[in-house]
Structure 1
Amino acid sequence: MPTGKIFYFTLLMMLLQSCVSQIPAKYNGYLVNSTQAILVTASGIQSNGELIFYERETVKDKWKKQFSFPVQIGRNGFATDIVFDTTATITKQEGDGCSPAGVFTLGPVFSYHAMENLNMPFQQVNKNNLCVDDVQSEYYNRLINTDTISNQDWNSFEFMQRNDLQYEYGVWVNYNAENIISGNGSCIFLHVWKDENSPTSGCTAMQKENLLQLIYALDEKRKPMLIQEKIDY
């Protein structure tokens, strides 16, 4: 390829990458009080996605990309959070294998281990901690401690301390968290992936080192927001 064409091709690729990596303007209204934002995108029903972490000094400044890395989302791609878009035709449901698309606040960081020097709320989890995904339970989509609950009315749940390392570190995503709607999906986290080719049941998963980079970057005072959306190329 002639030198001139190489230059223009390289410039075009840089411009395209810049366009793709920006936070879409349609989300500005959700970010007015935030100086940290996470954008997760994936195409179609693909589970392979990308996470980009942004910061800005003040709410009046422009967003600047800090880092990015690959992620795995739900095995059936994204489905829209009905609270985020009441007109959506495909919405997130319990057991659909989709990750929720929309804009979400973040809950506590959790881990099997004690963690220090965090700027987010933290909960160390053990075998007594469950996330209930039984749509008939009054504890649906809640993180509970079985030692403190006498009325254990659930038949389906997730152990927060698993027999593998996928929940060794994680961040609770506040999906279907306020005014919980039974059946709309539960137990959505950012967590460690099984491997780079394995989709999740609805969470967003990533390499352990990348997740820790994200966890230590998050600061609750900066009101971090998670944006998840399907991109059609």
Structure 2
Amino acid sequence: MRHDLVVTPMGLRFRGRRFPCTVGRGGIVPGAAKREGDGATPAGAHRIVGMLYRPDRLLQPAEGARPIGPPDLWSDDPRDENYNHLVRAPHGFGHECLRRADPMYDLILITDWNWPDAEPGRGSAIFIHQWRRPGAPTEGCVALSRRDLHWIAPRITPRTRLIVPSRT
């Protein structure tokens, strides 16, 4: 549908446009095969369930976007009861720091992959975020240029999904 973000061999399709994007270093795998740390992007239809941004680096990109604060982390430890959820420092389990020195997480679209009822080890933190550089793979997320991500963010709706076909 027109309001969905669709990964294609030519990039991410959204609202009649195509945007260069990258996926996980492990390629795209069927959702049932996705595992924590495999670097793969899970195939499927994933709802966009949240948006986070760095208020010290940019203005609120859309209504409802939540600011990332210094203690904000994302649990990626399957042993954690809060696995694949936003947590706060200090946190005694493995996690990703959302307030990074680089701009990669200045704006994050959160998908519902393995959320809210996370199955331990099935994969965490499948986001849409800024890429490191054009063509650089992610750890399983979908990444775009800063300009394209900032164009897309205010245009998503509560119905927007990230569609990752099994074969692109």
Do both proteins adopt the same fold according to a TM-score greater than 0.5, normalized to the shorter chain?
A: yes
* Aligned residue type for 1:202: G
Name the structure 2 match of 1:188. Answer: 126
Residues 40, 51 of structure 1: 8 Å contact kept:
yes
Partner residue, 1:225: 161
The letter for the 2-side match of 1:75 is: R
Question: Which secondary structure does the structure 2 equivalent of 1:36 belong to?
Answer: coil
* d(CA) in 2 for partners of 1:116, 1:97: 30
Aligned with residue 70 of structure 2, among 127, 137, 144 = 127
Q: 1-side partners of 2:19 and 2:106: how far apart?
A: 19
46, 49, 52: which is aligned to 2:13?
Answer: 52
Q: Root-mean-square deviation (CA), in Å?
A: 1.8
Query: Map of 1:38-49 to 2, 5 A cutoff?
Result: 38-42=5-9
What's 1:57 paired with? Answer: none
Q: Using a 3 Å threshold, how does the CA distance of structure 1 residues 117 and 189 change in structure 2: closer, same or farther?
A: closer
Distance 2:153 2:119 in 1: 28
Q: CA deviation at 1:183?
A: 0.3
- For residue 230 of structure 1, report the CA deviation from its aligned partner: 3.6
> Match of 1:115?
59
Counting aligned pairs with the same residue, the percent is: 27
* Residue 73 of structure 1: aligned partner: 23
Q: Which amino acid aligns with 1:96?
A: D
1:136 pairs, out of 69, 72, 79, with 79
Q: Which amino acid is the alignment partner of residue 51 of structure 1? A: L
1:165 partnered with 2:108 = no
Residue in 1 that maps onto 2:142: 204
Structure 1, unpaired ranges of 5+: 1-22, 24-34, 43-48, 55-65, 83-90
Equivalent pair of 1:41/1:230 in contact (CA under 8 Å): no
Quickly say closer, same or farther: Cα 1:116–1:136, change in 2 above 3 A. Answer: closer
**Structure 2 unmatched ranges of 5 or more:** none
- Structure 2 distance, partners of 1:200, 1:123, is 23
Q: Using the alignment, how far apart are the partners of 2:78 and 2:125 within structure 1?
A: 12
Larger radius of gyration: 1
Deviations, residues 11-42 of structure 1 (Å, cap 9, x unaligned): xxxxxxxxxxxx6xxxxxxxxxxx61110134
The superposition leaves residues 124-155 of structure 1 with CA deviations (integer Å, 9 ceiling, x where unpaired) of: 102200001011111100011237xxxx441x
- After TM superposition, give the deviation of residue 115 of structure 1 in Å: 3.5
Q: Residue type of the partner of 1:53?
A: F
Between structures 1 and 2, the one with greater helix share: 1
Task: Please state how far the C-alpha of 1:165 moved relative to its aligned partner.
Answer: 0.5
Larger relative CO (CA 8 A, sep 6+): 1 or 2?
Answer: 2
Aligned mates of 2:61, 2:98 — CA distance in 1: 22
Q: Secondary structure of 1:181's match?
A: coil
- TM-score, structure 1 as length reference: 0.66
Q: Match of 2:162, as an amino acid?
A: L
Q: Which amino acid aligns with 1:125?
A: I
Q: How many residues align?
A: 166
Contact 2:4 / 2:14 at 8 angstroms: preserved in 1?
yes
1:230, 1:102 → 2: CA distance?
7
